[in-house]
Amino acid sequence: MQITKEHRHLTLKQIDAQETYKVRLPVLRPGRPIEDCEFNNDSHIDTFHLGLYFNADLIGVVTFMKTNNEAFPESKQYQLRGMAILQDYQGLKYGDILVEAGDSLVKERQGILIWLNAREIAVKFYERNGFTISGNPFNIPSVGTHYMMYKTI
Ligand SMILES: CC(C)(COP(=O)(O)OP(=O)(O)OC[C@H]1O[C@@H](n2cnc3c(N)ncnc32)[C@H](O)[C@@H]1OP(=O)(O)O)[C@@H](O)C(=O)NCCC(=O)NCCS
């Protein structure tokens, strides 16, 4: 996949679900058992995972699942899940690279809408990446307040 010059240490690859656990665990499930990193449909044929490497190290992951949300009339929807950048690499806009690459791959698969459940702290990040809040905030037990967000592509 294409990486711009200013990101010359970075490589983006499609990876297996299990590879994502290396970043999901410390960032999204700290202190929990590795089994808690698995999402339903992680290995579904329509699911894809992206990994961002800094030199040889996996530092960021994101997952896209072909899942329709009744809130939206569009037929070919993808859900963005498990967006995570290792703490030492957060705040450097590396997340944008994963979102942009995901958008292109969803388009290639004829997807027309991407939606997600955003943690409150990530809402601004997603807004900057073209997502809009839909509806009211809601609580996910033991994770906190979330907002459903979407964009058409
Ligand atoms: C949310 C996340 C994917 C964004 O990726 P990123 O590459 O860090 O994105 P950005 O560099 O654009 O930073 C996003 C915001 O977080 C702030 N930030 C996050 N972590 C930071 C850190 N360790 N140091 C400095 N700033 C940080 C940035 O200042 C920025 O704020 P702004 O939007 O007001 O400018 C990443 O920070 C992350 O993995 N966070 C923890 C897991 C998480 O919340 N995932 C989302 C689940 S819905």
Residue whose Cα lies nearest atom 3 of ligand 1: it is: 84
Q: How far is the CA of 86 from the centre of ligand 1 (A)?
A: 10
Give the ligand 1 atom nearest the CA of 91: 11
Query: Using a 6 Å CB cutoff, which residues line ligand 1?
Result: 27-28, 83-85, 87, 90-95, 118-119, 121-122, 124-125
Distance between CA atoms of residues 149 and 119, nearest Å: 10
Amino acid 63: pLDDT: 98
Amino acid 2: pLDDT: 54
Q: Are 130 and 116 in contact (CB under 8 A)?
A: no
Residue with tokens 């601004």: 124
Give the ligand 1 atom nearest the CA of 92: 11
Residue whose Cα lies nearest atom 5 of ligand 1: it is: 95
Q: How far is the CA of 145 from the centre of ligand 1 (A)?
A: 16
Distance between CA atoms of residues 24 and 27, nearest Å: 5
On the 0-12 / 13-18 / 19+ scale of CB atoms within 10 A, 87 is exposed
Domain edges within the chain: 5-152
Question: What is the block-wise mean pLDDT of the chain (153 residues), using blocks of 10 residues?
Answer: 65 97 97 96 98 96 97 94 97 96 97 96 97 95 92 95
Give the ligand 1 atom nearest the CA of 28: 42
CATH superfamily of 5-152: Gcn5-related N-acetyltransferase (GNAT) (3.40.630.30)
